[in-house]
Each structure stands twice: as C-alpha cells, then as structure tokens.
Amino acid sequence: MKTMLPQDTLLQQYAALPWRVNQEGFLEVLLVTSRRRHRWTVPKGWQVKHRSASQSAETEAFEEAGVIGLIGPQPIGSYLYSKRRDDGSFEPCSVTIFGLYVQAELHTWPERSMRKRRWLSAAAACDVVGEPTLAEFLKTLRQGQRDRAAPETCARHLRQPSAMSAMD
C-alpha cells in the first residue's frame, strides 16, 4: 500500500484539459506530448506570478497546445504523478485540472517545435496518456460519456473570455 505525503510536501502544478464537441456530438479532449519523454499528457505547469490557478492553466494550454478558449474558474479534477526534475530525480506532484472549452486552434504557438498535439475521445485518451493517475481521471470522463456530450452542461462551468482568449 502506498503512503501518501502530506499535501504541503507536494509540488503543485495546474493543467488545462482542452475539450470540444465533434461533428457527431461527442466530447473530445486535446493531449500534448511532454518535452523530454514525448509521452501524451495534458498541458500543465507551475502557477504564473500574479495569475490565478485557472489563468495559469489557460496560459499552459496556449503555450503547449496552441489553443485558446474559455476556461472554467473551478477545478474539474486532480491527479498525482512523479515529476522528473532537471537533475533526474523524481518528486511527487499534485496537478489540479481546469476544463478549457477550445474556441480556436492556432497554426503557430510558443512550443510548437517541441510538442505534438492530438484530439482524442476520452476513451482513447485513457489508453495513450503516460501517467496512470491521469488515465484514471480521464476514465471518469469516459464513464459519463455514454451518450452524446451536452455542450450546455459543460458550458455551465465556464467564465467569460480572458485576455488570453484575445491572443491570436
């Protein structure tokens, strides 16, 4: 049995889960590859100074995935993983996830040359992500996706566009 560390000893990152509803009416999520190990994951990073957690997640989605849209002000979930540090060591890290309804995909973005991006169903995303605990979170989306996605339900968790949404 794994022993969990107290929350204050964990590193903390913030992630965006970019999503859209496809032409058939089903939910799709956007994954990106990590820079070092090229494993599929969600755009995530550290909190940006003078920005909220959700705004920091929104910034990561822009920089890592080249998407802009409406981000929810409240987290939709979280997961734990082992963060590889620059010295090769690993530290436990908690990731808080915010939903990002994608309104635009950019052709160029800051980390385009370092990452790939791919739209997948929640079920397919579960199978390709590199972090097992992220896959477990995505399974909760998949379980709620037996029928077509309801954009109006998802949209309840969104706030108005921020300055990031105006970038192009």
- DSSP calls for 10-55: SEEEEEEEEEEE-TTS-EEEEEEE-TTT--EE--EEPPPTTS-HHH
- Other beta carbons within 10 angstroms of residue 69's beta carbon come to 23
Per-domain residue ranges of the chain? 9-161
CA distance linking residue 129 with residue 17, whole number of Å: 13
d(CA 121, CA 141): 10
pLDDT tens digits, residue range 19-75?
998 888 888 999 999 998 899 999 999 999 999 999 999 999 999 999 999 999 899
Please state the rounded mean pLDDT for residues 139-157.
54
Task: Report the pLDDT value the prediction gives residue 110, as an integer from 0 to 100.
Answer: 97
Q: Under a CB-based contact definition with an 8 Å cutoff, are residues 54 and 71 in contact? A: yes
Written out in words, the top-level CATH class of the domain with range 9-161 is alpha beta
Given pLDDT bands bounded at 50, 70 and 90, which one contains residue 147?
very low
Q: What is the pLDDT of residue 81?
A: 93
Render pLDDT for 75-130 as a digit per residue (tens, 0 to 9). Answer: 999 999 999 888 989 999 999 999 999 999 999 999 999 999 999 998 899 999 99
